[in-house]
Structure 1
Amino acid sequence: MLKTNYAKVSKVYDKNKGRTAFPIDKDIEELLSRKEEITVLDLACGTGNWLYCQQSQFSDKKIKWIGMDASEDMLEHAKEKSLDAEFIHSTAENLKLDTKCDLIVCNFAFHHFEDKKKALTNIFSTLNEDGIFKYRNVEPECMKDWWVYKYCPESYCEDLHRFWPKELLCYELAKAGFGKFSIKREYFETYKEIEKLYENYKLRDASQLAMMGDKIYQKGIKRIEREIADGVKEYKDVVAFLEIKCEKAGR
């Protein structure tokens, strides 16, 4: 499985504004309705964007915020946001906290975990007895026309190794002890200007592009340049999201 160099990605990660905005987490609201104080872990928190958005919504609540990431460079950018959170440099496979969590979220990062079964075991043991785990990511097999895969098809093949399909993920979550599953899937199809795509591709902030070698990456650049030279003005883009919410006490 290829790895993404987040020392490089961290420098441009927040330039993609699609990564900086998250809606209010309704499960935090629900937990606070029955608990005076909760602990929330953002597993693979990256540059802290989810934490930043949630803290702005729950600034007056008693919440212990924790951000954990395997990349020191990404964590440094998270710390620059002056968040009221504890940041820990660790992998999910080595997840170990002195406190139990009421909510653990993992946004767009599970595919990076090398030992996914161990990560799920650690997540389960880190939750309180009535704790919640939420997974959110893209579904590669449902978005073969995504612009990254279109211009760098090799990255799609790599993602088939990195991503667990929904059925396998739910199976392994259940084996780890989770239950009471809630599954949400979203599919979006849009048309965008190819010149903007060209700029996004050159930014190389998507892990799919960052992990590929320069030779393969440059092939994608040439594919886009040929289309621009041929007069192509826009392209169809698709993206599919999968969100799974499960509970420790739901067995």
Structure 2
Amino acid sequence: MKTTDYSKLASRYDKNLYRSINVELDPHLKNYIKTNNRTVYDVLDLSCGTGLYLAHQIKHLTEQKINWNGLDASKEMLEKANEKLEKVSLLHGFVEDMPYPAQSFDYIANTYAFHHYRYKEQALDEIYRVLRPNGVYLMHNIAVDDMPRWWLYHYFPTAQNEDQKRFWDKVMIFEQLNERGFKVDVKIDYQLGEVKVADYLPYAENRDISVLTLISDEQYQEGLERMRRDVMDAPDKTVVNDFAEMRCVAKKV
């Protein structure tokens, strides 16, 4: 399995407006706080990247006492997170060997990151270890098996092959968590429609979507030129696009 070098993406990662526009108040974290009365909540953003998730939650969850934590394998991404976050404990480390004692956290958020882990079983063992009893682990990611007509695969077909190597399907995720003693609920939000190619060209040009860094430069340039030609020939051109988001909520019981 190929892996993305985020040290090369950190400087342009936040330029992808989709990331900031679509970050929302985590309803599962909000529900956890509502249904679990604690004096202090310990929350970990696992593979926190540049801190977009943390920044948004901190902005909205101001009435509770929350110890915010972030862990990431990229020092460069953490530097960007440090620029936007205050009073957050940010550590450099790896999910397969987290620098935390057992049962450190009430809630662990893991957004758009699990597919990057080379040793996924070991990652889940560590997540179970550092989560407290009755704590919640949220895995939020795209569900690539449910979105074969994604615009990105249309223009960069070899990217789909790379994603098939990186992503577990929803059944595998459910079973692996269930075997470790989690009570698991998986939901997929699916959209199918037409999108304007010109609207998505900037995302391709920024090349911050991780799978675009895994295909060859030749394959990337070929797909990018196809997009540019399509937009030049027909500025309003659309393609059929589907998109599937998975939210897996796993409670440690």
Tell me the TM-score normalised to structure 2 length.
0.92
- Note the 1:96-245 alignment, pairs <5 A: 96-98=99-101, 100-179=104-183, 181-231=184-234, 233-245=237-249
Query: 8 Å contact 1:96–1:126 — kept in the other structure?
Result: no
Q: Which moved more, 1:208-217 or 1:153-162?
A: 208-217
1:57 equivalent to 2:60? Answer yes
Query: What RMSD in Å do the two structures reach over aligned CA positions?
Result: 1.6
Alpha-carbon contact 2:71-2:92 (below 8 Å) kept: yes
What percent of counterpart residues are identical? 32
Tell me which amino acid in the other structure corresponds to 1:32. Answer: I
- Deviations, residues 13-33 of structure 1 (Å, cap 9, x unaligned): 111222124222233334434
Q: Which runs of 5+ in 1 are unaligned?
A: none
Structure 1 residue 177 displacement after superposition: 2.0
- Using the TM superposition, name which of 102-111 and 18-27 deviates more: 18-27
Q: 1:125 Cα shift?
A: 0.6
Distance in 2 (alpha carbons) for counterparts of 1:122 and 1:215? 38
Count of residue pairs the alignment pairs up: 248
* Matched residue type, 2:89: E
Aligned counterpart, 1:48: 51
Q: In the aligned structure 1, how far is the partner of 2:91 from the partner of 2:212? A: 26
- State the distance in 1 between where 2:98 and 2:168 align: 20
**Partners in 1 of 2:220 and 2:212 — Cα distance?**
7
Instruction: Assess, with a 3 A threshold, how the Cα gap between structure 1 residues 239 and 88 changes in structure 2: closer, same or farther.
Output: same
Indicate the residue corresponding to 1:32 in structure 2: 33
Once the two structures are TM-superposed, the CA of residue 119 in structure 1 deviates from its matched residue by 0.2
Aligned pair 1:13/2:8, yes or no?
no
Provide closer, same or farther for how the CA distance between residues 83 and 212 of structure 1 changes in structure 2, counting only shifts above 3 A.
Answer: farther
